Amino acid sequence: MSRFTSRLPIHIATFLTLLATSFLSLSAHAQVYGPTSEERKFSLDAHFISQSSDQASWEQEADTQFSHIFGVMHSPKLIRQFGLDADYVGGIGAPQLPVEYSRFKSTKQAEGTYLISYRAKGKILLHTEVAKVLDREGEIELPLPVDLENFYDKKCTDSHYDSFEDFWYFYDPFAKGCEKFAKAPLADTFKFQLGEAVKRKLDMDLRLDLLRGANGNGKTFRIDVVHGFESSHTNPRDDGRINFNEFNTWMGTQGFSLTKIQTHRARPMNLWTKTLTLPGGKEIEVEIRSFLVETSITARSKLFAEYFKEAVENADVIFYAGHSGLGGNLDIPSLEEKSGGFQFQANKRQIFFFESCSSYSYYLAPFRAEKTRARIDVVTNGLSSYFDTGAAMLHGFLEEILDDRATDKTWDQVLGRIEGDLGGRSYLTNVGGI
């Protein structure tokens, strides 16, 4: 089984509720940069079959229909059509959520059914090579379901996450034997019209002088690293635990001193400290908290929510390595129900790095929206990422921001380094809000 860092089954209705509460505020002018990705606007006129005459129900069904674009855009056959290696690139792109729906219209069909048409608009992150092709064409035709009630076949999805509720993310309508999910009566082909996203001058600097300066923690540069479990805290060979242990070993080779804060097997926490001398002779104290914890939003424990809230309010950098939970694990309102309201610091420069599957789709918009009150750059992945490359991304990122020879870095340098360490893979890693 592939070890995706977003794979946690959540019922689709719960997922849509999370989206509705999380992504209410979007920054109209913020931009996204990635070394292998580009953002575009899209519009789509689509339709589906419904058994409801209620528009509130249509909007939810439109969201259900549109969510299947994740499975479509991850299809190896579609990836190869754009000349990309499907063994190294896991998809052609991903949408940013939420999507804006409008122009709903119903036409009565057979007894008790309606054909619902609507328009969807939003943003989409594309692999650079795909963007080059589609910029010339101006559009792309892709299949989406129209018969939502019957759109499922266990043989056409992931061998482990094979339920109806997870089908939208894991199915492949172009796989052999699954072509029925790309044509009538189950599906139809729709045109996605593409256009340039709003552009302005980019501030590509990380501003290490602010991050590593008097940034609310005195002369301490605080970095919080959260490792989530891949499957279970009871498994001694869990991939999340392996990454946590490997990180601790690596930190020991970097000249850091260790203080064990917690030794509990299910939630160990370490504090790593080191004095760093910057160019010009200035000394700062680096504190890196490394925490292994259950990060599922469905977990009964409040521990992760409370820890994450405190990190959001006080850390200079947060690196989250774990499941996205299909949009649930870092959903701000859901975390606040467990921990209390987050207080984003308006005068604090911060970087949030969400090293998880499809975090561009789920987490860029709500955390970027906080930039109206705080100076935050948000690093996300457009595609599914893997536990087995998490260490390379984390170590590369830390080496860049802890470089004692540099007064500053650019996102072009840092993200280029991170993707370069993946051995040819690309997760469409990007930074938003710049």
Query: Is 27 a member of any domain?
Result: no
Which contiguous run of DSSP H or E holds residue 262? strand 257-262
Between β-strands 317-321 and 283-293, what pairing exists: parallel, antiparallel or unpaired? Answer: unpaired
Q: Specify the pLDDT at position 375.
A: 83
Which of 163, 196, 229 is where one domain is finished? 196
- 266 with 178, same domain: the answer is no
- 212 with 112, same domain: the answer is no
Relative orientation angle of helices 411-420 and 390-401, to the nearest 10 degrees:
150
Can you tell me the distance from the alpha carbon of 298 to that of 334, in angstroms, rounded to the nearest whole number? Answer: 10
Q: Specify the pLDDT at position 347.
A: 87
Q: How many C-beta neighbours within 10 Å does residue 302 have?
A: 14
Q: Specify the pLDDT at position 326.
A: 84
The region of weakest confidence among 198-202, 243-247, 309-313 is: 198-202
Per-residue pLDDT reduced to its tens digit, 58-101: 999 999 999 999 999 999 999 999 999 999 999 999 999 999 99
Is the pLDDT assigned to residue 4 strictly greater than 60?
no
Q: How high does pLDDT run on average in the chain? A: 90
Query: Is 280 a member of any domain?
Result: yes
Query: Is 25 a member of any domain?
Result: no
Burial call 82-115: b when 16+ CB within 10 Å, e when fewer: bebeeeebbbbbbbbbbbebeeeebeeeeeeebe
Q: What is the pTM of this model?
A: 0.91
Q: Specify the pLDDT at position 371.
A: 66
- 158 with 236, same domain: the answer is no
Q: Specify the pLDDT at position 11.
A: 36
Q: Specify the pLDDT at position 30.
A: 58
- 130 with 214, same domain: the answer is no
- 184 with 220, same domain: the answer is no
pLDDT band, residue 346 (cuts 50/70/90): confident
| Domain range for 92 | 32-196
Residue 296 corresponds to which tokens in the numbers above? 């599922």
Burial call 63-77: b when 16+ CB within 10 Å, e when fewer: bbbbbbbbbbbbbbe
The alpha carbon of 276 is separated from its chain's Cα centroid by a whole number of angstroms, namely: 31
- CA neighbours closer than 13 Å in the CB half-sphere of residue 204: 13
pLDDT band, residue 417 (cuts 50/70/90): very high
CATH code, domain carrying 267: 3.40.50
Over residues 388-395, the mean pLDDT reads: 94
Query: Is 366 a member of any domain?
Result: yes
Which of 137, 171, 196 is where one domain is finished? 196
Query: Is 9 a member of any domain?
Result: no
Query: Is 73 a member of any domain?
Result: yes
Is the pLDDT assigned to residue 8 strictly greater than 60?
no
- 360 with 385, same domain: the answer is yes
Query: Is 11 a member of any domain?
Result: no
Query: Is 104 a member of any domain?
Result: yes
- 53 with 163, same domain: the answer is yes
- 311 with 409, same domain: the answer is yes
Q: Specify the pLDDT at position 433.
A: 73
- 246 with 166, same domain: the answer is no
Over residues 51-61, the mean pLDDT reads: 92
Percent of the chain whose pLDDT exceeds 90? 82
Per-residue pLDDT reduced to its tens digit, 108-128: 998 889 999 999 999 999 999
364, 369, 375, 379: CA torsion to nearest 10: 0
- Residue 121 near residue 99, CB atoms below 8 Å: yes
- Residue 146 near residue 187, CB atoms below 8 Å: yes
Can you tell me the distance from the alpha carbon of 244 to that of 20, in angstroms, rounded to the nearest whole number? Answer: 33
pLDDT band, residue 369 (cuts 50/70/90): confident
Q: Specify the pLDDT at position 200.
A: 67
- 134 with 255, same domain: the answer is no
Residue 412 corresponds to which tokens in the numbers above? 């072009």
Q: Specify the pLDDT at position 10.
A: 35
Is the pLDDT assigned to residue 18 strictly greater than 50?
no
Is the pLDDT assigned to residue 1 strictly greater than 80?
no
Is the pLDDT assigned to residue 28 strictly greater than 70?
no
Which of 140, 174, 196 is where one domain is finished? 196
- 403 with 377, same domain: the answer is yes
Cis before residue 185, ω within 30 degrees of 0?
yes
Per-residue pLDDT reduced to its tens digit, 245-304: 999 999 999 999 999 999 999 999 999 999 999 999 999 999 999 999 999 999 999 999
Q: Specify the pLDDT at position 277.
A: 97
Q: Specify the pLDDT at position 187.
A: 98
Domain total of the chain: 2
- 143 with 215, same domain: the answer is no
Is the pLDDT assigned to residue 330 strictly greater than 60?
yes
